Amino acid sequence: MPLNRLLWIFDMDGTLTEAVHDFQKIRRDLGLAEDAPILDSIRNAPPEESARLNKKLDEIEWELASLARPAAGIHEFLIDLKERGCCLGILTRNRHDVALETLKQAGLHEFFSEDVIVDRERAAPKPYPDGINLLVDKFSMMPSQAAMVGDFRYDLEAGRAAGTSTIYMDPTGEFPYRSLADVCARDFLELMNLLRQTG
């Protein structure tokens, strides 16, 4: 069953935490086209422009980290996973220090040690599967023993590419990327009920 996994890897913003990122506004603030991939655009810009955009993105991300709040039901869900003996990791497109601050503000830092947080500087960012592969190797598991949990297609595509189960969180219940997911849930209380039903 897709929920019967020993390693759970979570996206952070909009998954572990309530969604506060307005990516269209971030693109406007950075002066990028409305459909431009943010990290790729910064990486491919000329060196001086890339440095300027990175600095601006850092300011935006730190401000958003200060607003972080836990997703509905996430505390109960993580406690349940811990009681089952599961391993936990995070794969985020944020920087590591911003990820730590986000977890602190959301009251989730107790569940994740620093070395299980894979950020965009430690591995190629999602949808590349590199970060998932790092975490699977760290816990000496196979991809088939892991689940990738996220709220956007990059999370699900990364999980698919790595060979893990994919769990799609969408509070609206619309699930536009349903085709990439093994399991869909609106919140973590619903997901916890599904997990308990599978034993």
Q: Each residue of 53-67: pLDDT tens digit?
A: 778 877 888 888 888
What per-residue confidence (pLDDT) applies to 199?
62
Using a 10 angstrom Cβ sphere, with 0-12 exposed, 13-18 middle and 19 or more buried, the burial of residue 7 is: buried
The answer as to CATH 3.40.50.1000 being correct for domain 7-19+69-197 is: yes
- CA torsion sign, 129 to 113 to 38 to 187? positive
Strand order in the sheet with 87-91: 117-118, 87-91, 7-10, 146-150, 165-169, 183-185
Which of these, 138, 16, 130, 160, lies nearest to 87 by C-alpha position? 138
What per-residue confidence (pLDDT) applies to 174?
96
Domain ranges (residues) in the chain: 7-19+69-197, 23-65
Residue 81's pLDDT band (cuts 50, 70, 90): very high
Span 127-145, mean pLDDT? 97
What per-residue confidence (pLDDT) applies to 53?
78
Span 100-109, mean pLDDT? 95
Span 182-199, mean pLDDT? 91
Is the pLDDT at 3 greater than 90? The verdict is no
Q: What is the DSSP letter of 64?
A: H
Span 169-191, mean pLDDT? 96
What per-residue confidence (pLDDT) applies to 102?
94
Span 85-89, mean pLDDT? 97
Residue 37's pLDDT band (cuts 50, 70, 90): confident
- Kindly state the tokens that stand for 153: 């297609």
pTM of the model: 0.87
Is the pLDDT at 36 greater than 90? The verdict is no
The phi-psi region of residue 87 (left if phi > 0; otherwise alpha if psi is between -120 and 50; otherwise beta) is: beta
With beta carbons less than 8 A apart as the criterion, state whether 169 and 196 touch.
Answer: no
What per-residue confidence (pLDDT) applies to 60?
80
Is the pLDDT at 17 greater than 90? The verdict is yes
Up-side HSE of residue 128: CA atoms within 13 Å toward CB?
Answer: 14
23 vs 36: CA distance, rounded Å: 10
Residue 186's pLDDT band (cuts 50, 70, 90): very high
**In 3-state terms, what secondary structure has residue 66?**
coil
162 vs 133: CA distance, rounded Å: 7
